[in-house]
Amino acid sequence: MNDPRFHFSRPIVILLSVMILFVSLPTRSEPLDKVQNKAENGDIQAQLELAHAYQKDGLKKNTQQILYWYTRAAATGNNQAQYELGLWFEKQQPTPDLIQASVWYQIAAEHHYPQAEEAYSRVLELQFNQRRARQISAIQQLDLASDDSHIPQPISPPPEQYNAIRTDIIIIVTVLLFALLYTVVKRSRRQKESQHIYKLKSDTARLTRQLHQLSKKHNLQQKQMVKMHTQLQKEQQQGKESRLNTACAVLGYSPDNLPDDNTLKLRYKKLCRIYHPDAGGSSSEMQRLNAAVKLISKYKKNS
C-alpha cells in the first residue's frame, strides 16, 4: 500500500468504477427504480434520496454509489448535497477525511448554509487542535533531549501523508468533472437547450475554480508543514548545547537572532494563551516559558 504506483492508480480505479456504475446498476424494487430514474434525469432530491438509501441498513452499502450520487448532486450547486457530502467524509471510519470534509463544508458555507457554517468551524477547530498537539509534542521532545543529554532520532512523517493530500484532491476533481460531463451530455441529448448547457458549463467552471483555489491553499499548508518539520529536525540534531538554546527554542528564536524587548513581550503573551492552565496548558509549561523569558532577558542585558 506504500508503493507510489498505488497512489497514482487510485484516481483511475475510482474513475473506472464510476463508469461501470453508468453501464450496470443493481436491480431493486419498483419504488427504488423510480427514484433511480429520477436521479439519472437530474432530480437533485432523488439523487440525495438514492445516496441515503445506500447508507441505510436496508440496502447493501456501496461506497462508490454513495460517493457518486452525493458528488453529482453537490456538483449542481445544491448546498444541502455539499453539506451532506462533507458530513459523509467527516464520518468515515476508521479515519475521518477532514481535508475533503472541510472543502465541501466551505463551499456550502460560502452560500450561508447554516449547518455547513457550523460544521466548517468544527472541522477547522479539530485540525487546529491536531496541529497544536503536534507542536506541543515536538517542544516536549526538545526538552527531553536537553534534560537527558541525548538526541532523539527525528520522526519523519511518511511521504505518503503529503502525497495523500494531492491524490485525494485529484480523485474528487476527477469524479466531479466526470459526473458533470455525463450530466451535460445526457441533458444535451434529451433537451437540446443551449441555456441548460451553458448553465452546466458555468457550474463546472465555477466549481473547478473553487476546487483549484482550495487545492492551492492545501498545497501552501503542506509546504508550511514541511518547512516546520525541517526546522524541527535541525533543532533536534543540535541537541543540548546550552540553556540559552533551549530557552530560545521554547520561544521560537535562536541565540544569533534575538528580538527586541517589545517583540519578546508580544511573543510571551501569545504563548501564554497556549500554555496557561486556563487555556488548556499546564503549570509546568508556564514555568518553563517564564524561565525561558528570564534567561533571554538576562542574556541580552549582559551582552
Long-range contacts from 258-266, C-beta under 8 angstroms, 24+ separation: 258/296, 258/299, 258/300, 261/297, 261/300, 264/293, 264/296, 264/297
Q: Where are the chain's structural domains? A: 4-237, 242-302
Pick from 20-24, 221-225, 286-290: least confident: 20-24
**Most confident segment among 196-200, 237-241, 272-276:** 272-276
Sign of CA dihedral 197, 201, 206, 211: positive
Hey, what CATH class is 242-302 in?
mainly alpha
Yes or no: say if 79 and 108 are a contact pair by the CB < 8 Å rule: yes
Per-residue pLDDT at 141: 82
**How many C-beta atoms surround the C-beta of residue 186 within 10 A?**
14
Give percent of the chain above pLDDT 90.
Answer: 21
Q: How far is CA 280 from CA 118, 123, 199, 287, in A?
A: 23, 19, 50, 15
Per-residue pLDDT at 48: 94
Per-residue pLDDT at 94: 84
Per-residue pLDDT at 156: 55
Is the pLDDT at 166 greater than 50? The verdict is yes
Yes or no: say if 170 and 11 are a contact pair by the CB < 8 Å rule: yes
Give percent of the chain above pLDDT 70.
Answer: 76
pTM: 0.40
Per-residue pLDDT at 80: 94
Per-residue pLDDT at 155: 57
Average pLDDT over residues 64-81: 92
Within the chain, where are the H helices?
A: 4-23, 30-40, 44-55, 63-75, 79-90, 98-109, 114-147, 159-191, 194-238, 243-251, 261-275, 283-302
